[in-house]
């Protein structure tokens, strides 16, 4: 075990398995994964190459694979990846999904490799968040999407929203900001050639379908104006 953080995660998973449980207590995908899948299809990105960063036991990786996306899942915990591989095999998805043990702050993929990077509840556990975001920007294609589902304070693992916003600002720009007084925070970022655009939204999972249509409207009107500048890009 070479990485202390990897060791901690391996132990978490092994402790849960010893209790007959799983760390993420669901095999179902996040509602946000369903939303992102629909969004990418709407963007003519059916069959896109997606990275599930910190994929854990692969619930979202498998969901995207079943939707026809070409999936790569990476996680620092080998017990979690072993479990994900077994699930992929039993779902006969092996051709759609590549799973490996690795660190999201040092991604083993070429530059401009992915159409989208998906993160559900990984960001909050990464000590060096700036390096992680830098790596995502490197492996994403110029028009790639970066989607983050994370917790809002006061969760013990939460990410400070303004810190996250500052980090993303180096590589992405805000398209949309929404704030709700409930339990989760969602970001969708888009990198557009040398003019980066990012979506930034707070809201519950249930709010996501409404957000999708509003983001769609925003992009349409913005592109029609042939300009990506907006007062949201602060
Ligand atoms: C709360 S779990 C979420 C798992 C999965 N995204 C899901 O929603 O089912 C956080 C995951 O991040 C992984 N992780 C933590 N640090 C990591 C790192 N530096 N690189 C890759 N994965 C990491 C953990 O092993 C764990 O599987």
Residue 197 has pLDDT above 70, yes or no: no
Find residue 190's DSSP bridge partners.
145, 197
pLDDT band with cut points at 50, 70 and 90 for residue 233: very low
Give the ligand 1 atom nearest the CA of 12. Answer: 25
Residue 125 has pLDDT above 50, yes or no: yes
Ligand 1 pocket mutation pick from 56, 100, 106 by most atoms within 8 angstroms of CB: 56
Tokens of 190: 């888009």
pLDDT at 200: 36
pLDDT at 199: 37
Highest mean pLDDT, choosing among 17-31, 106-120, 135-149: 106-120
Pocket of ligand 1 (CB under 6 A): 5, 9, 24, 54-56, 59-60, 74-77, 80, 103-105, 120-122, 125-126
Distance 7 CA to ligand 1 centre (A): 12
Give the ligand 1 atom nearest the CA of 54. Answer: 22
Mean of all residue pLDDT scores within the chain: 77
Instruction: For helices 78-90 and 59-66, give the axis angle rounded to 10 degrees.
Output: 30
pLDDT at 213: 63
pLDDT band with cut points at 50, 70 and 90 for residue 6: low
Distance 119 CA to ligand 1 centre (A): 9
Give the ligand 1 atom nearest the CA of 127. Answer: 19
Residue nearest to atom 18 of ligand 1 (CA): 103
pLDDT at 212: 61
pLDDT at 32: 80
Which pLDDT tens digit goes with each residue over 77-100?
999 999 999 999 888 888 889 999
Q: Which residue has the higher pLDDT, 202 or 127?
A: 127
Query: Over the range 165-174, which residues count as b (16 or more CB within 10 Å of their CB) and which as e?
Result: bebbbebbbb
pLDDT at 4: 53
CA dihedral 69→219→153→160, nearest 10 degrees, is: 100
Which pLDDT tens digit goes with each residue over 135-188?
999 999 988 889 888 776 656 777 777 788 788 877 875 444 454 444 456 677
This prediction has a pTM of 0.83
Give the ligand 1 atom nearest the CA of 26. Answer: 9
Residue 7 has pLDDT above 90, yes or no: no
- Tell me the percentage of the chain whose pLDDT exceeds 90: 36
pLDDT at 204: 45
Average pLDDT over residues 1-7: 55
Distance 54 CA to ligand 1 centre (A): 4
pLDDT at 231: 32
Highest mean pLDDT, choosing among 24-28, 105-109, 160-164, 200-204: 105-109
Domains and CATH numbers, the chain: 26-224 (3.40.50.150)
Distance 27 CA to ligand 1 centre (A): 15
Give the ligand 1 atom nearest the CA of 5. Answer: 16
Distance 36 CA to ligand 1 centre (A): 19
Give the ligand 1 atom nearest the CA of 149. Answer: 8
Ligand 1 pocket mutation pick from 31, 75, 136 by most atoms within 8 angstroms of CB: 75
Q: Which residue has the higher pLDDT, 151 or 13?
A: 13
């Amino acid at each position: 075990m070479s990485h202390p953080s990897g060791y901690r995660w391996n132990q978490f998973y092994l402790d849960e398995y010893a209790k007959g449980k799983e760390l993420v207590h669901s095999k179902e995908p996040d509602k946000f994964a369903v939303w992102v899948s629909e969004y990418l299809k709407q963007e003519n990105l059916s069959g896109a190459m997606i990275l599930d960063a910190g994929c854990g036991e692969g619930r979202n990786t498998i969901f995207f694979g079943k939707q026809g996306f070409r999936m790569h899942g990476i996680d620092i915990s080998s017990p979690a990846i072993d479990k994900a591989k077994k699930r992929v095999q039993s779902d006969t998805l092996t051709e759609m999904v590549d799973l490996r043990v690795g660190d999201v702050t040092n991604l083993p993929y070429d530059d401009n490799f992915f159409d989208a990077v998906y993160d559900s509840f990984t960001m909050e556990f990464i000590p060096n968040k700036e390096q992680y975001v830098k790596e995502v920007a490197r492996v994403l294609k110029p028009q790639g999407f970066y989607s983050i589902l994370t917790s809002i304070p006061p969760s013990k693992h939460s990410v400070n929203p303004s810190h996250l916003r500052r980090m993303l600002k180096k590589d992405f720009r805000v398209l949309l900001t929404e704030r709700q007084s409930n339990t989760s925070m969602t970001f969708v970022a888009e990198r557009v050639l040398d003019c980066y655009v990012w979506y930034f939204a707070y809201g519950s999972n249930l709010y996501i379908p409404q957000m999708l249509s509003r983001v769609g409207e925003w992009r349409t009107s913005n592109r029609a104006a042939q300009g990506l500048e907006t007062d949201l890009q602060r």
